[in-house]
């Protein structure tokens, strides 16, 4: 809730690298009217970074309170989301014109790619994407450092072979060094999607064990799936290229029993 001061809040604020004279009129506890250069403007015409700057200004003036449990790194996103509620309700013709326009996702945020990957591979943990992205960045940085060395350097040849072979065994690269892969393949093929494709739930969907990734995650968490001899209950488990043929159902799983019964291959002796 916004605190309603007794007087108007005025200041020179640099919106989009331009200094503007603004006034903030509190219409209610949750809505405000912004007056820029003595003329009323709609909040929808301001950039997202402007909302962030305005939110920080109001916070410094003790007009906008911040929750006590809000972390420092989430402060910017908090003010950015606060700016979205400042936009007035669209009229009927505006709603019809903007019905196919995405007013939430900004290209500058680069969050549209993250949202697409999360939805496609069913990433439920909030840090999965950022961890995979950090690993891709480190591998790409290592590949660039090795590329700066002399191609005939024994150390570069050894480390390049080890890295490419390891990434191929993990399933992140389609080819190893002997099959034609190089350092350029690391920057091109090692992506967040490559890590997600090696997740157990995605691999189960690709091999036909289940139809949807969400269903696979549910079975994994319930303990119906094993990799080799070990029962895996973590949907983020990465399956290497050598272990993908050993992904199967647990012997005592009711899902396995139902599948065998449907295929008329059920033998109670095998499930003992």
CATH number at residue 203: 3.10.290.10
Q: Residue 161: which domain range?
A: 128-195
Residue 120 has pLDDT above 50, yes or no: yes
- Using 50, 70 and 90 to split pLDDT, how confident is the model at 205? very high
Residues 6+ apart with CB under 8 A from 15: 22, 36, 46, 47, 50, 53, 54
Domains: count for the chain: 3
Whether residues 170 and 210 share a domain: the answer is no
Smallest Cα–Cα separation from 168: which of 148, 185, 187, 144? 185
14 shares its domain with 87 = yes
Q: Is residue 14 part of a domain?
A: yes
Of 150, 174, 195, the residue that ends a domain is: 195
Least confident range of 110-119, 135-144, 153-162: 110-119
Rg, C-alpha atoms of the chain? 27
> Is 60 exceeded by the pLDDT of residue 59?
no
List Cα–Cα distances, 176 to 2, 164, 190, in angstroms: 59, 6, 13
Higher confidence at residue 90 or residue 42? Answer: 90
pLDDT category at 184 given cuts 50, 70, 90 is confident
Predicted confidence (pLDDT) per residue in 139-149, tens digit: 999 999 999 98
Q: Is residue 121 part of a domain?
A: no
Q: Whole-angstrom Cα distance, residue 106 to residue 239?
A: 34
pLDDT of residue 25: 53
Beta-carbon contacts of 79 under 8 Å, excluding residues fewer than 6 positions away, are: 51, 52, 54, 55, 56, 59
pTM of the predicted protein model: 0.58
Q: Tokens 């309700």 map to which residue?
A: 89
Q: Is the pLDDT of residue 250 over 70?
A: yes
């Amino acid at each position: 809730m916004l605190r309603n001061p007794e007087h108007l809040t005025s200041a020179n604020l640099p919106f989009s690298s331009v200094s503007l004279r603004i006034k903030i009129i509190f219409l209610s506890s949750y809505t405000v009217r912004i007056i820029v250069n003595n003329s009323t403007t709609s909040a929808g015409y301001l950039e997202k970074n402007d909302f962030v700057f305005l939110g920080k200004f109001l916070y410094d003036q003790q007009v906008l309170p911040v929750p006590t449990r809000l972390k420092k790194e989430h402060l910017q996103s908090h003010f950015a989301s606060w700016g979205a509620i400042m936009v007035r309700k669209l009229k009927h013709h505006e709603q019809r014109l903007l019905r196919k326009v995405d007013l939430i996702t900004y290209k500058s945020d680069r969050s549209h790619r993250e949202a697409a990957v999360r939805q496609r591979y069913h990433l439920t943990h909030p840090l999965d994407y950022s961890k995979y992205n950090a690993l891709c960045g480190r591998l790409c940085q290592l590949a660039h450092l090795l590329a700066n060395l002399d191609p005939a350097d024994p150390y570069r040849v050894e480390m390049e072979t080890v890295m490419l072979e390891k990434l191929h065994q993990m399933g992140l690269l389609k080819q190893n060094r002997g099959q034609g892969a190089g350092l350029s393949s690391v920057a091109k093929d090692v992506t967040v999607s490559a890590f997600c494709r090696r997740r157990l739930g995605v691999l189960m969907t690709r091999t036909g064990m289940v139809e949807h990734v969400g269903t696979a995650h549910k079975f994994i968490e319930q303990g119906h799936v094993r990799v080799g001899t070990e029962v895996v209950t973590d949907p983020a488990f990465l399956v290497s290229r050598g272990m993908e043929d050993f992904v199967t159902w647990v012997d005592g799983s009711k899902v396995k029993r139902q599948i065998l019964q449907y295929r008329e291959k059920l033998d109670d002796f095998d499930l003992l």
